[in-house]
Structure 1
Amino acid sequence: MGKRRRVAERRSNRPAVLGAMTAVVAVGAGLGAYLLYDGGAAADARTATTAGHRAVKTGPLTAAEVRTASTRFLTAWQQGKVADAAAATDDTAAAQALLTGYTKDAHIKDVTLTAKPATGAEVPFAVKATVSYQGHSKPLAYGSSLTVVRRASDGRPLVDWHASVVHPELKDGDTLVTGESGTPPVKALDRHGGELTAAKYPSLGPVLDGLREKYGKKAGGRAGVELRVVRGKASKAAKLSDKTLAELSKGTPGTVKTTLSPVYQAAAEQQVAKQDRSSVVVVRPSTGEILAVANHGHGFNVGFQGSLAPGSTMKIVTSTMLFEKGLVTPEAEHPCPKTYKLAGWTFHNDADSEIKHGSFKLSFGASCNNAFIDFAPKLSNSDLTKEAQQVYGLGMNNWSIGVPSFDGSVPVQSGAQMGASLIGQGGVRMNPLNMASVSATVASGVFHQPYLVSPDVDHRTLAKAARTMSAKTQGQLKEVMRYTAAYGTAVKPMAGLGPDSGAKTGSAEVDGQKKPNGWFTAYRGDLAAAGVVQAGGHGGDTAGPMVAALLKMGG
């Protein structure tokens, strides 16, 4: 009798579930039929009750738990039960705010969600809905996904909440809004007057968004009605622009002319299509005009906004400093030891190579690290920072190119980190735009701030460098970069480009990454370019051919 009573007590604590454990439930036209497996009942079946407290479920999620948690969330969202949907996530407040705005601010209705087969804890799903605003209506269809996680406090499976669950273009803190756009659309033109579109040049999506944000109100257009992503604080700090997802009624676009070359832009798009995670930028040294920018991944403009260690391409800036200080000349004998110890760190060259009796030019051309780190004891902590700022205009956060950009960073550092900065590691961060500008400055002898839209359009002031390198220093830099292109690590991609060219390769190590980021920057006549292939390996083999192909097109 006692045993039967205990069994009855345990059963009475369970939620009422049809068929003792499971029930087939239709969860809406889009979701189809799922086997509803209640998390609480399942937990009872697999965990013990001790002293009146249920043990916390741990371990990997089961397929049934993933189905149940995702179905609970998607069903509630589809039915407009925002509070229930939010309660099925691990951040109820953030989920409720965004899902409420989905209806009230974005004016999205008639939502149908169709779940697809899960991959582990990730559940992709399709969204079909209608956007309606003041007599304007448009169908909306897109794909998204969610991930189910186990809450640590009680082991309950919940949807891991991020704004991207609602729409993949959303970052946390962003919102969706439908209405008259605050910014009229723009028609962007290349330097010859041809229209620039993301359909023709896929890499230009973020650029076109940035142009609209900056020039929409100035270019004479009229706003339309649209569904758009409005960026939050974090996205704005990352310099992401608002993004249009659907136009309910077209506005009248204004016109903005850019410096982009249709020939170079098309060629740059072709180059980055060949390699994953590749980016390239082409500029004109005599003016600073940006002729092309292209990225293999089109969602984020690494070319303008990336923040990556530039590796040995930074040795151009370091060499400028060493030449100006009179610490070395290209022909001076300067060894490059296999290892070098600085402030407790031991620095190595690639493949533990060494140069015992070579010139500095040879070390530059071979990209021998310790030939540069060897100068660290003779430098102050701020020398490289000042050189980058004063001669190359880097790290001042004052470039105004016409769209959002990152202007590079060369922080003041000490000890081993300062030594690492000399070879483009440590805290140094750049992108292809920055490094193309470095080569352009060497080519012309003067820093011209890169720009995508002429300052004549809006009378903005371009950044200027505090001083110009001497003709002697420029000559020395051209000598070592020309040597690198003719005999050093850049010889293969630069073959046939002639004497009026120079280059520098780079490989930047990244923690947890098997291969380094491959960098390459070069100039030829009145063209300069730089590229990076993330996790691609040595720059001469990856980014080099991409950059050289663009330079070979001529002026």
Structure 2
Amino acid sequence: MNGAAKGAIVGGVFLAMVGGAGYGMYTLVGGDGGDDAKSTSTTGAPVPGKGTGPVTDKEAAQTAGAFFAAWSAGDARAGADLTNNPAAAQSALGDFRTAAYVSKVAITPGAQTGTTIAYSVAAEVTYEGITKPLAYESKLTVVRGNTSGKPLVDWQPSVLHPQLQKDERLRAGTPASPPVQAVDRNGKELTAEKHPSLRKVLDDLRQKYGAKLGGTGGAELWIQPAAADAPRRSLLTLAEGTPGRIETVLDADVQAAAEKAVLKFPQASVVAVQPSTGNILAIADHRSDGFSASISGGRAPGSTMKIVTAAMLLDRGLVSADKVAECPAEVSWEGRTFKNLGGFKLDNETFATSFAQSCNTAFIKQIKPVNDIGALPKEAREVFGIGVEWKVGVATVDGKVPDATGPAAAAAYIGQGQIQMNPLTMASITATARTGVFRQPVVVKASMDDRELARASRPMKPSVTAQLVRMMKLTATSGTARGAMSAVGGSDKGAKTGSAEVDGAQNPDSWFTGFSGDVAAAAMVEGGGHGGDAAGPIVATVLNAG
């Protein structure tokens, strides 16, 4: 049986309109199209002709209308010819019916802003005699064709569905991986509906472990990723399968607090780790692009990286928490000048105070005494496990601390330059600083699949651990983290703030990492400014929940 027959596709049959005028019954809205309508599409919709200059609002509305009519009618060729990428559009529009098994569709135009038109889609997906509704909203933009001069829909995968990215496809059927029922460390069920940030994590767990847990597949609509090893993203369940049960080390209560905390700021991410075990307690993101920056991102972490730099300097005996460290307003290294925030300086203060006040120059002045371009990467790898492949149980991006020379080496000491981290790796760094021992973070225990976890070459020296913890506690009580950490109960708490400059960005990224008892957390807010202002309150909320 071919796909079209199996899915019971019925071209030209449409849903009733939902709220206002729409496309799906071979009707047009907006009169006869006026003088600018030079022709009509196969569905009877007016199509603007060749023109010059910027696309007018009227041309955009007519082009979108003709496109909606063709799409609703299941005429992939006609719809594709109204775009600036006919080949890609025809393939995607055809798949919408034959591979995603969309049997009915109605499109209702929404607000128009210039040449961008919003719209809502009300559809039905039919597979193996099972029909379920599918509704979503998206938008498209109309541009002038470079050679034709015609107004054309600027084809993007998101035109078909807002969650589609480059080279991704909509598919329906019986997935290869059976569903899983994920539970937290206390047996509470974890779902994407309750915890939206865990959608990628749950999809990863399903793809990796689903077939091993004894579940049976149902039927669903999903997004097929471009990369073969990337997890499918489920959009709609058509028929329930029998899920296999998988036990994670996440904590539903901490996860709920993290989900709520990131909603306070756009482009925000946070991860919580248990220092004594390496267990990941929570993963949360609030981003317009849906990207899991918490575990898959890679950006300069700013002064939160000074935890690693300080450990390296203490390890080599070049500084001591109680000894005076120079903190001038600025310092130069190989032609580049580095300054402290606002140009402050500290006179006759200890290294602990320089750490707590986030004095950049106190760290950069140590590059010459260290006299080893590989010292920071070595400390990161051997003590903190950064640069060793992690096997978390789900897909993650590990931290990066490469060798650097010249000004880049100085920038690395304060978490800039080529350093790449995400909240997961920074939470792990804080957990290591808290206990002196690197324990590779995990979402599911290694015994689940007998995978070998990453190990550090050596533990932190006890004297280094003691001084590092003391400096982080000072930062939390009287340093740059005091404001955010004042909301965290108890006295056993420490933190480090960070602000990372990003080329072309108006505001720096906000970073904050801290611990309270046996919980360590790190957050990042892109463009959030000072670490204590945006990322800090997120971490404080998560620490209190732990």
TM-score range, shorter chain: 0.7 to 0.9
Q: CA deviation at 1:158?
A: 1.6
Distance 1:152 1:261, change over 3 A: same
Tell whether the 8 Å contact from 1:206 to 1:300 is kept in structure 2 after alignment: no
Q: CA deviation at 1:452?
A: 1.0
- Residue 29 of structure 1 aligns to which amino acid in structure 2? M
When the two structures are superposed, what TM-score results if normalisation uses the length of structure 2?
0.88
Q: CA deviation at 1:38?
A: 7.8
What is the DSSP-based 3-state SS (H/G/I as helix, E as strand, rest coil) of the residue aligned with 1:77? Answer: helix
User: Is 1:537 aligned with 2:529?
Assistant: yes
- Deviation sequence 1:311-363 (CA, Å, 0-9, x none): 11001011112122222222232222222223332222111112243222221
- Deviation sequence 1:275-296 (CA, Å, 0-9, x none): 3332222111111011122223
- Deviation sequence 1:157-191 (CA, Å, 0-9, x none): 22111111111111110111111111100101111
Which residue of structure 2 lines up, in the alignment, with residue 328 of structure 1? 319
User: Is 1:113 aligned with 2:107?
Assistant: yes
* Aligned residue runs from structure 1 range 392-403, under 5 A: 392-396=384-388, 398-403=389-394
Which residue of structure 2 lines up, in the alignment, with residue 443 of structure 1? 434
Pick the aligned partner of 1:254 from 232, 235, 244.
Answer: 244
Which residue of structure 1 lines up, in the alignment, with residue 33 of structure 2? 36
Distance 1:270 1:139, change over 3 A: closer
- Residue 331 of structure 2 aligns to which amino acid in structure 1? Y
User: Is 1:273 aligned with 2:263?
Assistant: yes
Cα distance in 2, alignment partners of residues 421 and 297 from structure 1: 27
Pick the aligned partner of 1:516 from 503, 508, 514.
Answer: 508
- Deviation sequence 1:350-392 (CA, Å, 0-9, x none): 1111224322222111101122222334443333222222211
Tell whether the 8 Å contact from 1:30 to 1:112 is kept in structure 2 after alignment: no
Distance 1:28 1:375, change over 3 A: same
User: Is 1:222 aligned with 2:222?
Assistant: no
Pick the aligned partner of 1:349 from 340, 364, 371.
Answer: 340
Which residue of structure 2 lines up, in the alignment, with residue 124 of structure 1? 118
Tell whether the 8 Å contact from 2:28 to 2:65 is kept in structure 1 after alignment: no
Tell whether the 8 Å contact from 1:191 to 1:260 is kept in structure 2 after alignment: yes
- Residue 523 of structure 1 aligns to which amino acid in structure 2? F
Unaligned 5+ segments in structure 1 are 1-25, 43-53
Tell whether the 8 Å contact from 2:334 to 2:407 is kept in structure 1 after alignment: yes
Cα distance in 1, alignment partners of residues 77 and 90 from structure 2: 6
Pick the aligned partner of 1:100 from 94, 97, 103.
Answer: 94
* Aligned residue runs from structure 1 range 368-447, under 5 A: 368-377=359-368, 378-396=370-388, 398-447=389-438
Distance 1:178 1:387, change over 3 A: same
Cα distance in 2, alignment partners of residues 39 and 27 from structure 1: 21
- Residue 519 of structure 1 aligns to which amino acid in structure 2? W
Cα distance in 2, alignment partners of residues 229 and 317 from structure 1: 40
Report the count of equivalent residues.
512
Cα distance in 2, alignment partners of residues 39 and 330 from structure 1: 76
Distance 1:222 1:360, change over 3 A: same
The Cα RMSD (Å) is 2.5
User: Is 1:479 aligned with 2:470?
Assistant: yes
Q: Give the % identical residues.
A: 44
* Aligned residue runs from structure 1 range 180-199, under 5 A: 180-199=174-193
Distance 1:422 1:163, change over 3 A: same
- Deviation sequence 1:127-168 (CA, Å, 0-9, x none): 222222222222222222111122344543221111111111
Tell whether the 8 Å contact from 1:39 to 1:68 is kept in structure 2 after alignment: no
Tell whether the 8 Å contact from 1:531 to 1:546 is kept in structure 2 after alignment: yes
Cα distance in 2, alignment partners of residues 67 and 172 from structure 1: 25
- Residue 263 of structure 1 aligns to which amino acid in structure 2? D
Tell whether the 8 Å contact from 1:493 to 1:540 is kept in structure 2 after alignment: yes
- Residue 500 of structure 1 aligns to which amino acid in structure 2? D
Which residue of structure 1 lines up, in the alignment, with residue 134 of structure 2? 140
Q: CA deviation at 1:459?
A: 1.4
Cα distance in 2, alignment partners of residues 271 and 485 from structure 1: 19
Q: CA deviation at 1:114?
A: 1.9
Cα distance in 2, alignment partners of residues 110 and 476 from structure 1: 66
* Aligned residue runs from structure 1 range 455-470, under 5 A: 455-470=446-461
Tell whether the 8 Å contact from 2:511 to 2:531 is kept in structure 1 after alignment: yes
- Residue 291 of structure 1 aligns to which amino acid in structure 2? L
- Residue 66 of structure 1 aligns to which amino acid in structure 2? A
Pick the aligned partner of 2:154 from 142, 157, 160.
Answer: 160
Cα distance in 2, alignment partners of residues 512 and 131 from structure 1: 44
Tell whether the 8 Å contact from 2:24 to 2:105 is kept in structure 1 after alignment: no
Cα distance in 2, alignment partners of residues 376 and 61 from structure 1: 57
Cα distance in 1, alignment partners of residues 159 and 230 from structure 2: 19
Distance 1:121 1:411, change over 3 A: farther
Cα distance in 2, alignment partners of residues 508 and 289 from structure 1: 27
Select between 295-304 and 32-41 the one with higher mean Cα deviation.
32-41
- Residue 541 of structure 1 aligns to which amino acid in structure 2? D
Cα distance in 1, alignment partners of residues 399 and 28 from structure 2: 51
Which residue of structure 2 lines up, in the alignment, with residue 47 of structure 1? none
Tell whether the 8 Å contact from 1:30 to 1:115 is kept in structure 2 after alignment: no
Q: CA deviation at 1:41?
A: 6.1
Q: CA deviation at 1:244?
A: 1.2
If you compute each CA radius of gyration, which structure gives the higher value, 1 or 2?
Answer: 1
Pick the aligned partner of 1:338 from 323, 326, 329.
Answer: 329
Q: CA deviation at 1:204?
A: 2.1
Cα distance in 1, alignment partners of residues 509 and 131 from structure 2: 46
Tell whether the 8 Å contact from 1:31 to 1:113 is kept in structure 2 after alignment: no
Cα distance in 1, alignment partners of residues 220 and 490 from structure 2: 52
Pick the aligned partner of 2:481 from 477, 482, 490.
Answer: 490
Which residue of structure 2 lines up, in the alignment, with residue 82 of structure 1? 76
- Residue 319 of structure 1 aligns to which amino acid in structure 2? A
What is the DSSP-based 3-state SS (H/G/I as helix, E as strand, rest coil) of the residue aligned with 2:108? Answer: strand
What is the DSSP-based 3-state SS (H/G/I as helix, E as strand, rest coil) of the residue aligned with 2:111? Answer: coil
Cα distance in 1, alignment partners of residues 149 and 382 from structure 2: 56
